[in-house]
Each structure stands twice: as structure tokens, then as C-alpha cells.
Amino acid sequence: MPELPDVETLARRLRRRLRGRRIRRVRVLTPSTIRHPDPATFSRALRGRRIVGVDRRGKYLLICLRGDLTLAVHLRMTGDFEITDSGAPVHRHTRVLFEMNGFHLRFIDLRRFGHMDLLTPRQLQRLPGLSTLGVEPLGPQFTRIRLREIVRGHRMGLKALLLRQDLIAGIGNLYADEILWQARLHPARATGTLREEQIAALHRIIRRVLDRAVRRLSRYGRAVGVFLDAREREGRCPRCHGPLRTGRIGGRTTFFCPRCQR
């Protein structure tokens, strides 16, 4: 499932190409992708509308439109946008097609779990899943003191805490494992056992991992990291060379090093 770095990278790429462009026409090929309003109203409302910006909030992609409307997109497991020539063949997993001047913006989604809502500012503030998001870990409000408040205020395992979107927005399974490996913290460790210096280190590592992931995704097109690579291979710990262990922690499949992470 796309996480903060994936959605941030996509937002930056689309921002460069789409800002100031006008949507000529919208073709909804899979009606269930559109949650609000109904697909016909959705298409009519977007026709002729100019894109003024592309932002991100947590794992949501927000395409801002002239006339105080926002297209809120959640990619879910397999959603993605691609920009193609207008004459290019339409991929069979294309769910929504936006016709621009000279090119197409196409929403591709293999498993059809992604969804879109076209919303007014008031509706956007009330959107379930978006309105309850926690602090942005790459934003200025995510300070060491804020993380300390989150850790001290919630008694649970560390990985479960990192996955709580209402506390810290955008971190998913993959990057939670990377963060905790770099911090040398066991994913099931109780939040109440962390010392002050460990909270400070965790704060620094969260920001570093996510920032590097955004930069590397922009450059290489995929997540690049020593532990991420080892995790994909189910190999050995890059630090101590001991075998990695897998288990269900926080309801998710988790990779960790039982030697390094305490």
C-alpha cells in the first residue's frame, strides 16, 4: 500500500505537470471508484475546471481546483496516476480518465480499492479518514516534544503507535519497520518503557527515514534502503548479520532483528 513517501513523490510529480492546467473532459470507466458525488455529477463538475495545486495529507492526494473544490484521492493498495499522450492505448485497469489539452491523466488501479471524492471545503473537513488524521511527520508541528506527548499518552506497542493514522499521519507497514530497525527498537516494545533519549532518537529517525525515502523515490522510482532490501528478501540483518524474524505485530506482518532491536 502506498505510504507517505509514495504519495508525496506522486504529489510533487503531478504538481509540476498539472498546476494551471484545465480539465477538458472526464471519463469514469469504473463508477465504484467515485464515492461522492455520483459519477455523472462528478464528471460534469470537473469539466472545464482548472487545477490550481496538488497537495498531500497523510496518505491522501489532494488535487485543488478553481472554484473551491478539492478532489481527494486515496490510492489504497494499488492506485496510481500516470500521464500519457492523449492517443496512447487505455490500460485495462484505468478507472478514471481526465482529458487535458494534449495529454491524459489516468487513474490506474489493479485491485479497485482506490477511491475519489469531489468536495467543498466544508465537506473536506468532515471527510472520514481525512478529518481525523494526526500530525504530519515531515511538518513543523512534528517536534520532539509532540512525539513525546504521543508516546507518553498512549500505552501500546511501538509499531502499533506508528501505524495509528490519528496520531501520526502517513506511516505504513514498510516504513514503520525501517524506522524501528534504524532506531534499534523492538516493534512490540511498550511505549511506556522508552527513555527520553530514545524518544529524541526516534523523532530524528522518523524524519530522516521519510525524508530520504521521498528523495530516493523521486530519483530511483522505488524505495531504496539497506533494511528495506533485506526485508524484501527475508534475509539477514544488515547490521549484525543475524536472521530477521517475522511475526504479526499491530495486526501487520512485521520484520525485525531480534538481536539488534530491543
Active site residue 92: no
What is the DSSP-derived secondary structure letter of residue 88?
A: S
Angle between helices 226-233 and 173-183 (to 10 degrees): 120
> Residue 247 has which C-alpha cell?
511475526
DSSP reduced 3-state for 168: strand
Type of residue numbered 14? L
> Residue 28 has which C-alpha cell?
469514469
Residue whose grid cell is 497523510 = 58
- Is the bond preceding residue 258 a cis peptide, omega within 30 degrees? no
Q: Which of 184, 252, 258, 259 is catalytic?
A: 252
Active site residue 59: yes
Compute the distance between CA of residue 73 and CA of residue 34 in angstroms, rounded to an integer: 10
Compute the distance between CA of residue 112 and CA of residue 243 in angstroms, rounded to an integer: 36
> Residue 32 has which C-alpha cell?
465504484
Q: What are phi and psi for residue 90, nearest 5 degrees?
A: -85, 120
Active site residue 232: no
Active site residue 17: no
Q: Which of 59, 95, 106, 231 is catalytic?
A: 59
Compute the distance between CA of residue 22 and CA of residue 16 in angstroms, rounded to an integer: 14
Compute the distance between CA of residue 142 and CA of residue 134 in angstroms, rounded to an integer: 10
Compute the distance between CA of residue 68 and CA of residue 232 in angstroms, rounded to an integer: 42
> Residue 3 has which C-alpha cell?
505510504
Compute the distance between CA of residue 60 and CA of residue 54 in angstroms, rounded to an integer: 11
Compute the distance between CA of residue 224 and CA of residue 208 in angstroms, rounded to an integer: 13
Catalytic residues: 2-3, 59, 252
